[in-house]
Each structure stands twice: as structure tokens, then as C-alpha cells.
Amino acid sequence: MYKVLIVEDDHKIRNLMGQYLAKWNFQSVIVEEFEHIEQQMIKENPHIILLDINLPGYDGFYWCSKLRQLSDIPIIFISSRSQSMDIVMAMNMGGDDYIQKPFSLEVLVAKMNAVLRRTSSIQNKEKDLLTVGGLTLNLQNSFVLYQGKEASLTKNEFQILYLLMKKAGQIISRDEIIRALWEDEQFIDDNTLTVNVTRLRKKLEEIGVEDAIMTKKRQGYLLR
């Protein structure tokens, strides 16, 4: 079953879409808090997003741009706006398609299936984001996100955090991390590893993640 995130402030329209999509094997998640759309996308990790333009607070163009920084999940704009510039803006912000209200629900499903077929997001969606607790690592652009704040990681910092998150709760030896970096053709020795871990800790602290990486003496590191 495909999961769809519906970002629409009209209760009647979004409930109607949710009920109809259920008949076509879609699990609908309806956004209720429009100031936390990023966090809801990360939490739900949908296959596709239906996004209205006119929303409380920031509009759909803004949110599309923000979501595109985190994932390549397909986004279909649904709006009553009919100006060519609105459609152009939607595509430029990263939208995959545009449906004008009022619309046929049959056409909506057809467009959703077409977008899902022509994108690789379904096959790669597990590879886009790695989340442990409230910490999310974007595997496409090496950004780490926590409670709406983000930090850009170097290649080594990214590889270290990726390994720690993949094995969260386990002690990862320094040798194992160094070998993982060597496999990626990145020269790194024991002292360089210490420097990179220190820098990674600092970046995590800057976005509000305190004491996430523990040092286990004579053993290695642990993400808790």
C-alpha cells in the first residue's frame, strides 16, 4: 500500500480525497499542523505528497522548496489557481505535477500513479532519509536535521554519522569506522578520525543534539 501525505486546509476536500484514495490502495495521512510539515513528512516517510498552494502561514511554494531539501518524494500541487505563472512556479520549486481545482478524483489517481511510475522515489525512498529517534540524516545531500534545524556535513562526517546511525545503540570500534572510510577511498588515520568526530559532535550540538556520540574507552563510539 502506498502512503500519501495530504497537505490541504479545506476539510471537505481533504477528507473526500482520503476516502476516495483508500479505494485505490493508498493510505492517506492528513496534515493538521501546517507549521510542522517537514517533521510530519520525516515521520510518515510517504511515497507521494499532495500539496495545496494556499495554506495557513507559509504557502505551498515555500513548503515544496523546503521539502525538496530533504527528499525527492514526488509532490503534486493541487490548487484553485489557474495562472500560468503559478504552474511554472510550482514546477520550478520542485513539483512533479499540477492539478487545478475543481478536479476529477479519477484524474487525480491517474496522475498520482503516473508520477509514481516515472520517478525512482519508491525504489529509493528508504535510501533518502535515515532517522534514529528525532535525528534525521539525508543520504542524498549530506544534511543532518533535528527539530527543524539542519547542518551540512563533510564527506567524512557524513560517513561516520551514517555508520553510527545504522548501528545505533551498538559500540562501533575506531578500526571499523576507519575501514569504512578507507573503502570509500578517503585516507584517514586514528588522529584524523578523532578530529572528524569532534567536528561532528560540534555540528550536532549546534542544531540542539547534546551528547549524542559517546566515547567508549578502548572500544570506540556509540550513538545513543
* pLDDT reported for residue 122: 47
Question: Which CATH number is correct for 2-125, 3.40.30.10, 3.40.50.2300, 3.30.70.360, 3.40.50.10860?
Answer: 3.40.50.2300
List the domain boundaries for the chain: 2-125, 133-223
> Is this model's pTM higher than 0.75 or not?
no
Give the strand pairing for 75-79 and 48-52. Answer: parallel
Name the 3-class secondary structure at 147.
Answer: coil
HSE-up of residue 51 (Cα within 13 Å, Cβ side): 33
Name the 3-class secondary structure at 1.
Answer: coil
pLDDT tens-digit readout, 99-157: 998 889 999 999 998 888 876 544 555 567 888 888 999 888 889 998 888 899 998 89
The CA radius of gyration of the chain, in Å to the nearest whole number, is 20
Instruction: List, in sequence order, the alpha helices (H) in 100-189.
Output: 105-118, 121-128, 155-166, 174-183
- Give burial (CB, 10 Å; 0-12/13-18/19+) of 30: middle
| CATH number given to 133-223 | 1.10.10.10
Average pLDDT over residues 18-31: 92
* pLDDT reported for residue 185: 44
The span from the CA of 99 to the CA of 87, in Å, is 9
pLDDT tens-digit readout, 165-221: 988 888 999 888 888 877 654 556 678 888 889 999 999 999 999 888 999 888 899
Comparing 2-125 with 133-223, is the CATH topology the same?
A: no
